[in-house]
Structure 1
């Protein structure tokens, strides 16, 4: 067994509640320096309106909201749904729930009736915080809730000054006298505080139990490697969805550990975000691969002064070195570096930093192992592979989830003792840099040979006509094998109006790939031109959607290139 660790010493790992970690009541509660805990520091800025939320205001409103929650019977040991786009109210509500000891389960804002009800029921929720714009989705799902939600436990996340709702109270109507936060000292720090849902590759989304100790351990480890920012000069861009672990931990909580102002947008929309970068002189951003592609091919970016943006951390899915190189040629003042992790690791387990990317070879790396984590690379035979070879990443450490909520089957499949089997296939080089090469369950098996979809996708993005791509395997029963099949989005202006034009472009892409890969990686399953590649809000390709589509299409029209 080969166990890798970080060469950075493990930092102090306090066993306290998440709220106490940020807003200590007494000496020794938090390792965060006093300078970053200045109540007058601006912590969050609404990117569309310019409204600011200072650290002291956040603490005060959260503690007053916690009092309001207790007044209507919401308190420690309960779980709530927080269903809203990014906003300052989302942040206040979250910290209020944390102060009251309430576990927060934030659903994807695109969820509809059945999906929303599944998360509410599986998480065991008994209250609901919701943006007014999403009330119709909530009302539609409400009849499917196992535990009815009384109207006084429905809380609207409306902005200040919004007209009163005839039925529900807003967050601001529940701000009572400032109370005391719940404490989670010692063993109590192992209580679950977040319950985010992870889709995986099959089945219904699973609730990932994240404890106070997971959160504070992740933040302490991250801060040993994170890009150094100056509270007086720098600002961070946040459009990543707060309901996703990447946004929840790194767009809200991590900047608060360093006193860095965060400019919040409800979602990524190109013009508003570019305008915000220029207006607020944003210097650091957390992004996902689809955003990198949009900016690389943007026809509007040149209208704005984006030179303040010096570095971007890309996560959720790997970026090819070629794509990073192309991006940095267009934006030479902006360096991309990558990190890797998952909901189960409370965000990152490996992390890079812009100034450490000193060669093109490192552009595709997802960083080095963070302290507190132990890592193994395990082959298909269950034996650890030699350094440099591909293996499934297994992890353990204090930031790792305690497991899946009410899902013993998923826990049994995902854990080997105290090792979590991530399903991601990676490599490690002699300098300790990691690369993600694919997912175990997503590898395509062509006549016994493994084909990595991510490798083909990275190659396809280098084709002059392709702006996005997704690759899946499609089963051909008559051949008893899978064939790689590509779905591609072509650049505007590429002639694909007629069936004959689409066939010519598809054939061109097929031939182009064929000339650049081993024969078992040829796109024998076909090249299909589509308007968009289905992706999750965090930017991961929804391969199960593509697989369903591919199976139907191939059944109706078998591929010609067998």
Structure 2
């Protein structure tokens, strides 16, 4: 048995840029990308197309050839997507890195992606300079992304110099096999184990992600009435469809934000309010000021909003029409608390996906609600099966097993990493996600219950890290938490260790640590009296965010 999607649809076979820019069904002069810090900085579809064509000419004049990879090392910006699409349109391959990376991490990223050109901001140039020297990338292959008018360091070149070579068209094709075999991006993932790996994402993967997640899930938001005063001071009344808009606060180098930011925004004409970095007050005020309709969130943002007194003082989220959370499981009680901040009919649901699935793989279509902690149902065209520890198909409803997926959004594989590909794919093309899941027979909803090999054996009992994490996250002073298994010399059993990020200035005293220990002991009592011990460490934000502990989206 395999789990079939509820729907199958035909997909376009074009190149990515033709798919985006051929006959956009919206006003091409309206602002699409808007800077939240300075809303006068905007880019429309027509402006984006022209900038991309100019950058394509500049990249080619600077030596970029078909298949060359270009690294963008930057914070979020309205021009980030323009650079991404120009790289792809020129026949190149985009990869993005975390602005917080050290030179060592950047060197690994550059080597693994085989990047030949680099684009970075002045503030984070130094570690990239060391990494480039280690890898052997010449200075003239590095451009400074002075997107906010920052000074250009001596002997460095601005990315704007790429705009001085006229315009050239992007690489065009309309063939399914070409779309499937042409790489558009190398996004990074830890996979199920090991160091971050370059994931091959094709033109077809990205087109399928938009079509199957947003294209088939329209937002039939209700019409609202507007009043306008003409030059003769007469009022006119009209019905206008509510403009779909999003706030982009998570890093756009990552698969959790890249497809919707770089492709869906321009394809569908949905406004993207770009935050350089997440800050809570700016996030909430932007949502309220611009009547943002859709929120794509990760658990730390959800927790930050719930813990903030700001969200209790003003109804910032009452006009939001849809919110979804992914990247890691969210406790259903936390989900319900956040849902209470939104409008009465607005759903807040969970999604599931990975870099290897080009982002979302399961979801709830609008306007369905869920309060069970499910991550939704399979997107169209995506198949699933469950396997046991020996790799045997055990697919059946209400049975837990490792979730495997196959379909047009699934990566062809890790770039030049035969070992990882052999571990992650079977001979029928199924990708082994490493997530333990089950599908409910009655509702066809999927539930992610654990990660393969993350179960901690304590005196013969299996302790699931998500159970401990859920209790830790229920504490009002905990922002984020992750639990792993550790061994202690001389002991005959594993113990759980919690990495906890707390509010600034909280839980620094010994009694605070004891409090965290008590929470874990209570949870072990709650989990069928499984006996365990928790070793807690504060200020482990880097451990939690690195993906080594929670390697999901």
For Structure 1 versus Structure 2, the TM-score category normalised by the shorter chain is: 0.7 to 0.9
1:254-265 matched pairs, under 5 angstroms: 254-265=264-275
1:105-129 CA-to-partner distances (Å, cap 9, x unmatched) read: 1112111111111111222221111
Matching of residue 177 in structure 1 with residue 162 in structure 2: no
1:9-408 matched pairs, under 5 angstroms: 10-24=8-22, 34-36=24-26, 38-50=27-39, 51-145=41-135, 147-151=136-140, 153-159=141-147, 166-175=154-163, 176-186=165-175, 187-189=177-179, 190-200=181-191, 202-226=193-217, 228=219, 232-302=242-312, 304-306=314-316, 307-331=318-342, 333=344, 335-353=347-365, 355-358=367-370, 360-361=371-372, 364-381=373-390, 382-408=392-418
SS at the partner of 1:275?
helix
Contact 2:496 2:535 in 1 (8 A): no
Give the 3 Å change call, closer, same or farther, for CA 504–442 of structure 1 in structure 2: closer
Contact 2:200 2:412 in 1 (8 A): yes
SS at the partner of 1:469?
strand
Paired position in structure 2 for 1:542: 549
SS at the partner of 1:312?
strand
1:288-319 CA-to-partner distances (Å, cap 9, x unmatched) read: 00110000111233455512223211111111
**In 2, distance between residues paired with 1:289 and 1:402?**
29
SS at the partner of 2:526?
coil
Contact 2:13 2:204 in 1 (8 A): yes
Q: State the shift of 1:535 in Å.
A: 5.4
Contact 2:375 2:447 in 1 (8 A): yes
**In 2, distance between residues paired with 1:210 and 1:18?**
12
Paired position in structure 1 for 2:4: 5
> TM-score, length-normalised on structure 1?
0.87
Contact 2:184 2:202 in 1 (8 A): yes
**In 2, distance between residues paired with 1:242 and 1:465?**
28
**In 1, distance between residues paired with 2:406 and 2:550?**
27
Contact 2:320 2:342 in 1 (8 A): no
Contact 2:326 2:350 in 1 (8 A): yes
Structure 1 stretch displaced more, 122-131 or 223-232: 223-232
Q: State the shift of 1:159 in Å.
A: 2.3
Deviating 4+ runs (over 6 angstroms): 491-494
**In 1, distance between residues paired with 2:277 and 2:327?**
16
Contact 1:453 1:471 in 2 (8 A): yes
Give the 3 Å change call, closer, same or farther, for CA 356–535 of structure 1 in structure 2: farther
Q: State the shift of 1:263 in Å.
A: 0.3
1:389-428 CA-to-partner distances (Å, cap 9, x unmatched) read: 2110111112111111111010111011111111011111
Paired position in structure 2 for 1:508: 518
Contact 1:89 1:159 in 2 (8 A): yes
Q: Report how many residues are paired.
A: 523
Q: State the shift of 1:144 in Å.
A: 0.7
Give the 3 Å change call, closer, same or farther, for CA 535–368 of structure 1 in structure 2: farther
SS at the partner of 1:253?
helix
**In 1, distance between residues paired with 2:405 and 2:447?**
15
Give the 3 Å change call, closer, same or farther, for CA 223–19 of structure 1 in structure 2: same
* Unmatched segments (≥5 aa) in structure 1: 25-32, 545-562
Contact 1:470 1:487 in 2 (8 A): yes
Paired position in structure 1 for 2:439: 428
**In 2, distance between residues paired with 1:281 and 1:541?**
36
Paired position in structure 1 for 2:493: 481
**In 1, distance between residues paired with 2:170 and 2:87?**
10
**In 2, distance between residues paired with 1:173 and 1:489?**
43
**In 1, distance between residues paired with 2:463 and 2:347?**
30
* Unmatched segments (≥5 aa) in structure 2: 222-240
Contact 1:80 1:105 in 2 (8 A): yes
SS at the partner of 2:277?
coil
Q: State the shift of 1:514 in Å.
A: 3.7
**In 2, distance between residues paired with 1:512 and 1:262?**
43
Q: What value does the CA root-mean-square deviation take over the aligned residues?
A: 2.5
Q: State the shift of 1:229 in Å.
A: 6.3
**In 2, distance between residues paired with 1:70 and 1:463?**
54
SS at the partner of 1:399?
coil
SS at the partner of 2:340?
helix
SS at the partner of 2:244?
coil
Q: State the shift of 1:513 in Å.
A: 1.9
Contact 1:86 1:264 in 2 (8 A): yes
Q: State the shift of 1:326 in Å.
A: 1.8
Paired position in structure 2 for 1:556: none
Matching of residue 419 in structure 1 with residue 410 in structure 2: no
> TM-score, length-normalised on structure 2?
0.88
SS at the partner of 1:74?
coil
Give the 3 Å change call, closer, same or farther, for CA 194–497 of structure 1 in structure 2: closer
**In 1, distance between residues paired with 2:153 and 2:301?**
36
